Structure 1
């Protein structure tokens, strides 16, 4: 997932209920699918962040020396400015990029 190329809003947006429920015909199913995708996206972003922060990690046993790592701060600021996982999931849903399978009864 390329987080720099996303069109997901950073602020709260109101969506048309009919547009959200259109692919499955039920707003509750749509919200459930979007929520599961948001959870997946959140896990991916968290993993990327931890991986990038590990690159700059310094392991020092001395508690006397506490210093700021500018690279870590910049990486953290980038991830803080990203749209939230649920906004990314809704954007994917509206673009038809989310696949799902319905349980067979």
Structure 2
């Protein structure tokens, strides 16, 4: 047959860590050299209902959430999302754009 698969050597772990560290430093350096007014067109976040609260303002449905109390903590009032404020993906987007 063949050799059975085994776990990677423990000496490989520091090399993988250093490689990941160098890549992250290179990416952050490239992001820092961007113009300060650069915009990010979209952020894709895969998650569950914590990340996706829905937005049904443009759907033909009787269930809407574009009235109070939805959006009570959100600047500008209700937005059509089933939440009352910012969700984790909003916060990630705000801080990501700030870092770029």
- Give the structure-2-normalised TM-score: 0.32
Which is higher, the Rg of structure 1 or of structure 2? 2
Higher helix share: 1
TM-score, reference length from structure 1 = 0.30
Higher relative contact order (CA 8 A, sep 6+): 1
